[in-house]
């Protein structure tokens, strides 16, 4: 899709397009109503501004739309709307050892149990071992700190998705 095409979508179509990038309804609404965008820098700036204005519940809503890192079954079954994008983002898990994937699964569950949401990281270009290391580093953090960390990772993911979708 081109930026011009995005600018000319009706609100319902634009909302669906933005949902591929970030599942927070507040963010989607803000982005849909921020159109038209003049260029890529403009849409990226609007995305950052809209995300910065979101509240904790908006962040958590966006986080819930992510599959757990390394959980390819979840990718296939639960998140069909962002499946292709998320699968590509997590391609580093495709070549991971079974032991690493099992450690990721266990660490992800421990993170979910502690913080109430899954571990969020911009996984593009990261190996499964690096993702596991980052998860293990962040696991001891407070939930408040992890909401901040995950929100920072989410906007990176969102910007990548916008750029890919407009390529």
DSSP one-letter code for 64: H
How is residue 119 written in tokens?
A: 């571990």
What's the maximum distance between 2 C-alpha atoms anywhere in the chain?
Answer: 48
Residue 76, pLDDT > 50, answer no
Residue holding tokens 């397009």?
17
Residue 81, pLDDT > 50, answer no
Q: Quote the percentage of the chain above a pLDDT of 90.
A: 71
Residue 23, pLDDT > 80, answer yes
Mean pLDDT of 102-117: 93
* 115: annotated active-site residue: no
In contact, 37 and 7? CB cutoff 8 Å: yes
Q: What is the pLDDT of residue 3?
A: 98
Domains of the chain, each with CATH number or no CATH: 3-61 (no CATH), 68-154 (1.10.3330.10)
Residue 80, pLDDT > 70, answer no
Residue 106, pLDDT > 70, answer yes
Q: What is the pLDDT of residue 74?
A: 52
pLDDT in tens, 155-164: 999 999 999 9
Mean pLDDT of 125-140: 93
In contact, 34 and 50? CB cutoff 8 Å: yes
Q: Quote the percentage of the chain above a pLDDT of 70.
A: 84
Q: What is the pLDDT of residue 127?
A: 87
| Active-site choice (21, 43, 63, 66) | 66
Mean pLDDT of the chain: 88
Mean pLDDT of 113-131: 93
DSSP one-letter code for 78: T
Q: How many residues does the chain have?
A: 167
pTM: 0.85
């Amino acid at each position: 899709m081109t930026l011009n095409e995005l600018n000319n979508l009706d609100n319902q179509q634009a909302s669906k397009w933005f949902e591929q990038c970030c599942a927070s309804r507040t963010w989607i609404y803000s982005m849909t109503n921020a159109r038209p965008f003049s260029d890529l820098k403009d849409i990226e700036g609007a995305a950052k501004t809209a995300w910065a204005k979101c509240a904790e519940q908006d962040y958590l809503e966006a986080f819930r739309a992510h599959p757990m890192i390394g959980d390819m079954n979840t990718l296939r079954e639960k998140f069909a709307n962002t499946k292709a994008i998320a699968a590509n983002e997590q391609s580093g898990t495709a070549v991971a050892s079974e032991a690493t994937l099992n450690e990721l699964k266990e660490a992800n569950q421990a993170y979910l149990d502690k913080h109430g949401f899954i571990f969020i990281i911009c996984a593009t270009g990261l190996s499964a071992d690096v993702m596991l290391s980052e998860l293990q580093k962040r696991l001891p953090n407070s939930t408040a700190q992890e909401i901040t960390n995950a929100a920072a990772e989410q906007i990176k993911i969102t910007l990548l998705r916008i750029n890919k979708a407009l390529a």
